[in-house]
Amino acid sequence: MKTIDFRHFKMFTDIAQENVIEQDLHKDFADLLYKNVNGIVAHDLALRIYRSEKPVELSDDEIALLREFIKNGTPIFIDSFENNIKE
């Protein structure tokens, strides 16, 4: 299992990845999943993220789903996402 803390998400602010800001993305990210990704797995994941009080545990399949979802996002968000995945 891997985890991501969407309430304390560390976002890079530069290409050198030397500076980060901490953001609470749990509601906004859950909304994006809920509105844009089909299927019951995405529905469950969106609700778990939205209701989370601590880091969300994610299976390899859920990580793959999220990677597929964000692959067209900004490079800085993609790199930040990968940096926030914890074993």
Task: Judge contact between 59 and 1, C-beta under 8 A.
Answer: yes
For the stretch 18-73, pLDDT in tens is: 999 999 999 999 999 999 999 999 999 999 999 999 999 999 999 999 999 999 99
Confidence at residue 23, expressed as pLDDT on a 0 to 100 scale: 97
Average pLDDT score over residue span 72-82: 96
Average pLDDT score over residue span 3-22: 97
Within 1-87, where are the H helices? Answer: 26-36, 40-51, 60-70, 75-84
Domain boundaries, the chain: 2-84
Confidence at residue 87, expressed as pLDDT on a 0 to 100 scale: 76
The Cα angle at residue 63 between residues 59 and 64, in degrees rounded to 5: 115
DSSP state of 86: B
Q: In degrees to the nearest 10, what's the CA dihedral of 2, 7, 14, 67?
A: 40
pTM summary value: 0.91
